[in-house]
Amino acid sequence: MKILMVLTSHDTLGNTGKKTGFWLEELAAPYYAFKDAGAEITLASPKGGQPPLDPKSDEPAFQTDLTRRFNADEAAKAQLARTVRLDSVDQKDFDTVFYPGGHGPMWDLAEDRNSIRLIESFIAADKPIALVCHAPGVLRHVTNPDGTPLVQGRKVTGFTNTEEEAVGLTKVVPFLVEDELISLGSVFSKGEDWGVHTVVDGQLITGQNPASSGAAAEALMAALRKKKAA
């Protein structure tokens, strides 16, 4: 099982003067779900090298057993420090792709032509993909072969408007994930704020928030096993 994980390279939270990046739990939870299942993991980002960590995600209030495991894992941290450039990866080399969130992807990956083409190539190859929290927003420009939005008519979830309001960034982010996905014609669902909620619609797997990242990874591996057994 070869799994690609795509992280943001964007570290600036709009015009707030604060830093952002990827959310640690959304990397750590799926990383160990995959690693403990024996998968071969490749980490990529638009710029390559060390991707920016949202500093808030490493605060004590947001740490979990898996984030602590990651922070103590020298091999994992070394791998994170040398992510490959996104423009160098090929869908043919992987069974699937997972996009962790954090606010960073809304600025770079959502508009990144390499990311858009990559996702479209996974879908065209009938491979499952998963995105969690803010990362479903990177689907905003991804289309089907006929030019319609990939998410049109599909069941999805992602970081909700009320969760964005709770963190006080509604006016800072370039768009609201929930509103964007709905405007593209998706069938958007959500659970309780900060609760676990994942949605599987064929090849497309989405998770609502950081707490959903492990469940989204498990759903992705279940989809891979089902595909292999077919």
pLDDT value of position 133: 98
Give the tokens for residue 202: 């064929």
pLDDT for position 229: 85
Any idea where the domains of the chain sit in the sequence? 2-229
Contact criterion met (CB below 8 Å) for 197 and 208? yes
Helices then strands, counting H and E runs in the chain, come out as 7, 9
Q: What order of strands is seen across the sheet that includes strand 129-132?
A: 84-85, 40-45, 2-6, 96-99, 129-132, 204-207, 198-201
Q: Which amino acid is at 5?
A: M
Question: 112, 199, 102: which is closest to 151 by C-alpha?
Answer: 199
Separation CA 160–CA 140 (nearest Å): 15
**pLDDT for res 185:** 97
Walking along the chain (230 residues) 10 residues at a time, the average pLDDT comes out as 97 94 97 96 98 96 95 97 97 97 97 97 96 98 96 98 95 96 98 97 97 97 89
What's the predicted TM-score (pTM) here?
0.97
**Pairing state between β 40-45 and 2-6:** parallel
CA dihedral 3, 43, 156, 57 (to 10 degrees): 130
Q: Quick one: three-class SS letters along 143-156?
A: ECCCCCECCCCCEE
Q: Note whether 108 and 47 are within 8 A (CB).
A: no
First to last CA, the chain: 16
Comparing CA positions, the residue from 99, 93, 101 lying closest to residue 121 is 93
Topology of the domain covering 2-229:
Rossmann fold (3.40.50)
* pLDDT score for 230: 78
pLDDT at site 222: 95
Q: Find the angle CA(15)-CA(17)-CA(21) to the nearest 5 degrees.
A: 90
